[in-house]
Structure 1
Amino acid sequence: MKTIVRLTAIPVFGLLSAACIADPAWDQEGEIIDEDEQIEEAEEALSCSSIGSTVVDHACWHATNGLTSDDGSVTANANAAFTTANPNVNTAHTWWTVTLPGSGSSYAGTVKFRPTVSGDYVFFVKDSNATVTLMTDGGSTITPDFAVSVAGCTEISRAIGEYLTAYTTYRITLSDTTAAQNLIIERLNGCNNYY
């Protein structure tokens, strides 16, 4: 919040003293500037359209060097409209092995993700051929802010980014010709850093 400082002379015991009185900041039209609104607008404007190497290197480290405590496994649900909280991949910074139901060369399944903080998130996947669909909990498809190929890490081939709202459930549907898929989710701090 911008503060305008006004110096006011106040006589105290025959001396002049200066006092600071904080005034709210005003915009060019003479309206008080709403700091909370400005912060919210700035956060929306920070939505990333790509990611930097720092985030990729961090996710790659989890994928290749992560401790077993950094690993998770889940079997996806064949029904994309399942109503239970599980299966989910709610823990970020976790190298998830997602087993897709199916047979032959056709595998597909859905897991849920419910972030606890609003912000930009990136979903890294290992298999470059896997189809990844982000959806609302109601099943509406979300067009990601970006979907890019990733180079320099054998465990990660693609990154899909989207701004997500805290305590909102999202669905991630994966499909491919193989059952075993790998996924890691990172919350971005700017477009080239992570939390």
Structure 2
Amino acid sequence: MKMTMRNVCGALLGLSLAACGPALEEEQGTSQQEASLEAGCTALSSSISSHSCLHSNNPADHLPVTSTSGLTGSTPSINTSHMQYDVTLPAGATGTVKFRPATAGSWAFFRTQGNTITVKNGATTLSPALTHSVSVSGCGLVTVTVYDLTSTTTDYQVDLGTASGNLVGVVAERVEDYRVRYYQDADNDAWGNSSVSVLTACVPPAGYITQRYDCNDANASINPSATEITGNSVDENCNGSLTN
């Protein structure tokens, strides 16, 4: 019965998630929400990439803007998440837009071309935390670069390098909003150890999965989907009972 109620609750939670909202993580604290991209992250997970592709593929989520040559009083902003800004660049040259994050954290700038991106805070050029290609079937986004942006009152200068056709689509999403908790599956039975986990928006470490509740992660024959064998003093199906 415990597993039945747990599965029902999980299904109800899944149905309640909004299309533009990340999965809620009940164990996520404030300090985790505001943390920078974790060390050892080599690529973002499919959750944020696929979400960004949804907006890139939806014409209703596109906003056209014309960049300027350098930062000027008319430089446009690309502040809104869940949108693709179609940025027109100066012919054969770098174009500038502005970005002010609504929340501090790591921000991923997905782009429809492999052109360069440089983010500046005043005279200071920021170093990217991560850059890699994007490979999502049917998606026009091809590359992403992540920057740790700590100020919500700063208009960061975003310089976009030359691009074919002088046009590039940009989708900005906050990485922390797409964190998922993964659980260690040491015995490879497709059930993770609830006590050993990582919370990340990056590709998880090898041997970590999203399904938990394994009560003995050292024995692949013991997990919530196993058949209970009565009379052996072992809770094979992890439901807290030795008789069912």
**Shared fold, TM over 0.5:** yes
Larger Rg: 1
In structure 2, which of residues 40, 46, 59 is the aligned counterpart of residue 53 of structure 1? Answer: 46
> Contact conserved, 1:81 with 1:139, CA < 8 A, in 2?
no
**1:120: which partner in 2?**
106
C-alpha distance in structure 2 between counterparts of 1:172 and 1:186, whole Å: 15
Mapped contact 2:78–2:85 kept (Cα < 8 A): yes
Q: CA deviation at 1:162?
A: 1.4
1:161 Cα offset (Å): 0.7
Corresponding position of 2:96: 110
SS at match of 1:107: coil
Structure 1 match to 2:62: 71
Q: Give the 3 Å change call, closer, same or farther, for CA 107–55 of structure 1 in structure 2.
A: same
Query: Which residue of 2 is the match for residue 172 of structure 1?
Result: 158
Q: TM-score, normalised by structure 2?
A: 0.54
**1:181 alignment partner in structure 2:** 168
User: Residue 81 of structure 1: which of 71, 74, 85 is its match?
Assistant: 71
* Aligned residue type for 2:107: Y
1:147 aligns with one of 131, 134, 155: 131
Q: Determine helix, strand or coil for the equivalent of 1:88.
A: coil
User: Which shows bigger deviation, 153-162 or 109-118?
Assistant: 153-162
Measured in 1, the distance between the counterparts of 2:74 and 2:32 equals 32
Q: Secondary structure at the match of 1:176?
A: coil
Q: Does structure 2 retain, via aligned residues, the 8 Å contact 1:132–1:175?
A: yes
Percentage of pairs with the same residue:
28
**Aligned counterpart, 1:44:** 35
Q: 1:176, 1:143 → 2: CA distance?
A: 20
**1:170 is aligned with what amino acid?**
Y
How far did 1:81 drift? 3.2
**Counterpart contact for 2:75–2:98, Cα < 8 Å:** yes
In the superposition, relative to structure 1, how do residues 71 and 39 fare at CA in structure 2: closer, same or farther (>3 Å)?
closer
1:47: Cα distance to partner?
A: 3.9
Instruction: From the superposition, tell whether residues 131 and 120 of structure 1 become closer, same or farther in structure 2 (CA, over 3 Å).
Output: same
Q: Secondary structure at the match of 1:116?
A: coil
Q: Which one of 161, 165, 178 corresponds to residue 146 of structure 2?
A: 161
Closer, same or farther: CA 139–73 of 1 in aligned 2, 3 Å = farther
How far is the alpha carbon of 1:184 from its aligned partner? 0.4
SS at match of 1:120: strand
Partners of 1:149 and 1:157 within 8 A in 2? yes
- RMSD across aligned positions (CA): 2.4
TM-aligned CA deviation for residue 182 of structure 1: 0.7
CA distance in 2, matches of 1:131, 1:45: 22
Matched residue, 1:17: none
Contact between 2:67 and 2:95, CA under 8 Å: does it hold in 1? yes
TM-score scaled to structure 1, two decimals?
Answer: 0.67
| SS of corresponding position for 1:144 | coil
